Structure 1
Amino acid sequence: MKRLLTESKKVVLVLTAIFICNSCARNPVTGKRDFSLVSKDQEIAMGQQADPEVIAQFGLYPSEALQNFINQKGQQMVAVSHRQDLKYQFRIVDSPVINAFAVPGGYVYFTRGIMAHFNNEAQFAGVLGHEIGHIAARHSARQQSKTMLAQLGLVVGMVVSPELAQFGEQAQQSLALLFLKFGRDDERESDRLGVEYSTKIGYDANYMADFFRTLQRQQEQSEAEPIPDFLSTHPNPADRYQTVKELAADWQQKTKAKNLQVNRNTYLKLIDGLVYGEDPRQGFVEANVFYHPELKFQFPVPTGWLYQNSPTQFQMAEKEGKALLALTLAGGKTLEEAAQQTMQKYSLQALESKKVTVNGFPALAVVADQQAQQDQQQQQQQQTATIRTLTYFIQDGASIYSLMGISAKPDFETYFTTFSNTMQQFRKLTDPARLNKQPERVRIKTIAKTTTLAEALRQNKVTDNRLTEMAILNGMELQDQVTAGTLIKVVQ
């Protein structure tokens, strides 16, 4: 028996080695073979599936000029990249967060928040090259392979350790999160590629390094504490600054590039009028109340809770993560249809429901459990609910809103009053000041006479409490001299 087991292990090891060798694809950047379980066709399919989800989550920023700009520069850069065998798509999404990201299959996204913080085309080009670099070096595909391999290992673990089966779903989610972000080595490689690609299409990559200074200052001004180097998958902005400066000098020497472009004024004119910060037309929070001017409703946010808004949902979370409230549009033409579809979507089992009226709106209140299956033996006997929800389905004309409160079953009674109070205060928005609230926008101003940035900002009606914010937005220090004729950004 022992010999048979030993021989079986040898066979498994041989088969595994063959499987891994066959799963190695040549990296277009390094020329070396990388372990990958994701084919090119699978990469493309992943991107095609993710793209509508990204757009649904954030929405596209409604500016044809900006969308054409990122697509034109993106396609120009793809032509000098290591990977031209994909149909790349470049989009600016309607989010105030300072971010840019890429998904497998050639999809690259910049937020309007990051577009507002660039101060010239060279900075933009460096970050664009960085994101194309993630795709060219197959970082996304490699990360997906790690996730698949981790889940494969989990399944094997379940076979040999049945007692772990009940934790299977949670473990898979944790492993997926573990590999969700790119590692530091991938980020450094993409920085290098960003310098290379932006230099090759004629931009001065030194300005890419300057943008890392902006990121660092923005992080320092953030309410959240900076992430320590050893905890972050991204290299620290201060470290990246020096590295990118050195890379830029190397590539300029290699290519003997001359007359490299910065194009500060042309970029600033392009973003004149760009929405800055949260767009109140998509909903905003003021004095612990969420208002939606377009849909004309309001409801309170529980005191001390964190919140996040997107075009498809508004989420609120208790600081310790023990409870969640989420507003979305529900499907169905009637309250009953909306409840039934939601129960099916989230595998919920209704415990009780009743028709109610919420400030003149017809509504349906439902308490439901989400069932979590235990191991096979327990599964045959019973199912234990781990999640309990309270959902108010509220009808306003043809629209039905779902306000769902979610917590672990033992915590449900603790948060029930918070859930119900929030839902019962859903009401029509009638205040003209909030109905007509408009977003702040980036405005480009010309300095009339040489002065300091601080004084130039004050002359353009920037209040003292926002001077530092505007200095970071301009990529400058408040004491910097700005000469007559210089363009600067203000927010109005």
Structure 2
Amino acid sequence: MLKYSLLALITIVFTTCSRNPVSGKKELTLMSESQELAMGQEADPQIQAEFGVYPDSSIQHYVNNLGQKLAKVSHRANIPYTFRVIDSDVINAFAVPGGFIYITRGILAYLNDEAQLAGVIGHEIGHIAARHSVKQQRNAMLGQLGIIAGVVINPNLARFAESASQGLGLLMLKFGRDDENQSDVLGADYSTKLGYNAHSMGNFFTTLKRSSGETAGQLPEFLSTHPDPGNRNTHVQQLADEYQKKYNITNPVLNRNSYLQKIDGIVYGEDPRGGYMDDGVFYHPEIKFQFTPPTGWQYHNSPTRVQYAPKDGSALFYLGSAQGNTLQEAANAFIQNNKLTAEQTAQVTINGLPAYAIVFSQMQQQQDGTSALALRGLSYVVQYNKSLFQMVGVTSPNAFNQLAPTFEKSMKSFKQLSDASKINKKPERVRIKTVKTTTSFEQVLKSFNVAAARYNEHAILNAVELNTSIPSGTLIKIIQ
């Protein structure tokens, strides 16, 4: 009966089709338009909580206004769109189902004219117009169904489930690359319709390539979700010519100066207000605490938590707010919500602060119905300034005894931040300056007292080379 039910489910899934708004072709989907819109409405608050919204109403209005204009000339102008600038220094933009598009302040700092911004937003609208995110949801569900069906129908295939998932993942990378190429086409199409110069959108891919650099661990292009930026530049340059001819655009606009004036003063890099790393220590100047995370671990900070992991991904350490009114209540909620077993508990004190320590583990059911230990970890819940904070370190059972002292050392380093220089640290910002005399970009940087160690960073930020001649009166970006 179970086998029949799964096959029936797959049959039902494959009979659900809709017409793609861009291609006009019928395609399999597992989500109606109303479901797609509802998914976006549900995801938006989570994305805002994870990244934070950049607190500048003028920039928010500017990006949303441009986005709405581009949405009106897209293949799906019938659905509502929401455009937000999120408070992240990562150079990125992304879309989720239901018309929600997010632009980071990081990418705004690296764009050099409004035509580039229009191209980026148009690209993300393209993902929604072609329902790429809906197709990704479909592919993930079908992949899962295929693996489950195979395992249930033939239990001997259970051991291949993991390798099947990896194979499906590589297939999804190919879908992702095709989607990116199609969105490049649509981004050039939509931005050119509004009179923008899509050649500038292509040029931005060169900036992306320069900013990412050539790293030894970089995926080769054929295994990358996004096509190589250099190849995308060439492709978009061709598209720009085609669409300018198609729409008879003889004088496409860049709006460089007006764009630069719009982003004057935007925060650049990590914003200390949300916490920052300095010489191996994490400081939070607004909440006024500090702690020392595991040395050499990779770091990610968001409004909800700060987390660290070694490069091999074998462990995780994070700090965030705890749920509950008391230490005991927060500890119990953590154990229950995550279906953990508390192996040891103790009331402790950390640098004069009351805390509750827990050694925990989690079991995982095996294919034969038995349970096996899946992970072990250590958690400290700390009471500080009438708030509860939780630190968690987790790894595999075999690695726990080795990493437990590392977790404990970091957790016991949590304390009040009182150093005024750390509390009052200000973020760097992009400042728009006017070049007074025609000279090389390197000489321009010297005239603004930019440190030599940051010359290349400024060159990438302004999409020029150090030996590029900069005419008098040109607006440029300086980090201050």
Sequence identity of aligned pairs in percent?
Answer: 50
Cα deviation, residue 376, structure 1: 5.7
Alignment match, 2:476: 488
Alignment match, 1:70: 63
CA distance, structure 1, for counterparts of residue 338 and residue 163 of structure 2 = 16
Residue by residue over 1:451-471, the C-alpha shift from the partner in whole angstroms, topping out at 9 and shown as x without a partner, is: 111111111111111000001
Alignment match, 2:206: 213
Which of the numbers 424, 445, 462 marks the counterpart of 1:457?
A: 445
C-alpha distance 389-163 of structure 1, shift in aligned 2 (>3 A): farther
Which of the numbers 177, 180, 204 marks the counterpart of 1:187?
A: 180
Cα deviation, residue 301, structure 1: 2.1
CA distance, structure 2, for counterparts of residue 341 and residue 179 of structure 1 = 37
Cα deviation, residue 237, structure 1: 0.7
Partner SS, residue 213 of structure 2: helix
C-alpha distance 176-37 of structure 1, shift in aligned 2 (>3 A): farther
C-alpha distance 168-402 of structure 1, shift in aligned 2 (>3 A): farther
Alignment match, 2:234: 242
Residue by residue over 1:254-287, the C-alpha shift from the partner in whole angstroms, topping out at 9 and shown as x without a partner, is: 1101332110000000000000000111111111
Contiguous gaps of at least 5 residues in structure 2: none
Residue by residue over 1:65-89, the C-alpha shift from the partner in whole angstroms, topping out at 9 and shown as x without a partner, is: 1111111111111111001222111
Greater Cα shift, 122-131 or 296-305:
296-305
Cα deviation, residue 172, structure 1: 7.2
Residue by residue over 1:232-262, the C-alpha shift from the partner in whole angstroms, topping out at 9 and shown as x without a partner, is: 1211111111110110000000110133211
Residue by residue over 1:97-152, the C-alpha shift from the partner in whole angstroms, topping out at 9 and shown as x without a partner, is: 00000001101000000000000000000111000000000101011000111111
Kindly indicate whether residue 124 of structure 2 is the aligned counterpart of residue 136 of structure 1. no
When the two chains are superposed, the root-mean-square deviation of aligned CA atoms in Å is 2.4
Partner SS, residue 433 of structure 2: strand
Cα deviation, residue 186, structure 1: 0.7
Greater Cα shift, 178-187 or 292-301:
178-187
CA distance, structure 2, for counterparts of residue 411 and residue 111 of structure 1 = 37
CA distance, structure 2, for counterparts of residue 15 and residue 419 of structure 1 = 46
TM-score in terms of structure 2 length: 0.95
Cα deviation, residue 202, structure 1: 1.4
C-alpha distance 337-179 of structure 1, shift in aligned 2 (>3 A): farther
Q: CA contact under 8 A between 2:344 and 2:358: conserved in structure 1?
A: yes
Residue by residue over 1:191-247, the C-alpha shift from the partner in whole angstroms, topping out at 9 and shown as x without a partner, is: 0000000000111111001101100111117x6754321221211111111110110
CA distance, structure 2, for counterparts of residue 230 and residue 155 of structure 1 = 28
CA distance, structure 2, for counterparts of residue 328 and residue 17 of structure 1 = 44
| Alignment map for 1:248-327 (pairs within 5 Å) | 248-327=240-319
Cα deviation, residue 15, structure 1: 8.9
Alignment match, 1:344: 336
Which of the numbers 375, 378, 382 marks the counterpart of 1:387?
A: 375
C-alpha distance 292-83 of structure 1, shift in aligned 2 (>3 A): same
CA distance, structure 2, for counterparts of residue 325 and residue 150 of structure 1 = 31
C-alpha distance 178-65 of structure 1, shift in aligned 2 (>3 A): farther
Alignment match, 1:54: 47
Kindly indicate whether residue 401 of structure 2 is the aligned counterpart of residue 409 of structure 1. no
Paired letter, 1:277: G
Greater Cα shift, 243-252 or 296-305:
296-305
Alignment match, 1:3: none
Cα deviation, residue 154, structure 1: 2.1
CA distance, structure 2, for counterparts of residue 205 and residue 188 of structure 1 = 15
Paired letter, 1:122: A
| Count of residue pairs the alignment pairs up | 478
CA distance, structure 2, for counterparts of residue 430 and residue 226 of structure 1 = 41
Contiguous gaps of at least 5 residues in structure 1: 1-7
Paired letter, 2:423: L
C-alpha distance 175-347 of structure 1, shift in aligned 2 (>3 A): farther
Q: CA contact under 8 A between 1:392 and 1:402: conserved in structure 2?
A: yes
Alignment match, 2:357: 365
Q: CA contact under 8 A between 1:324 and 1:407: conserved in structure 2?
A: yes
Partner SS, residue 124 of structure 1: helix
Q: CA contact under 8 A between 2:13 and 2:30: conserved in structure 1?
A: no
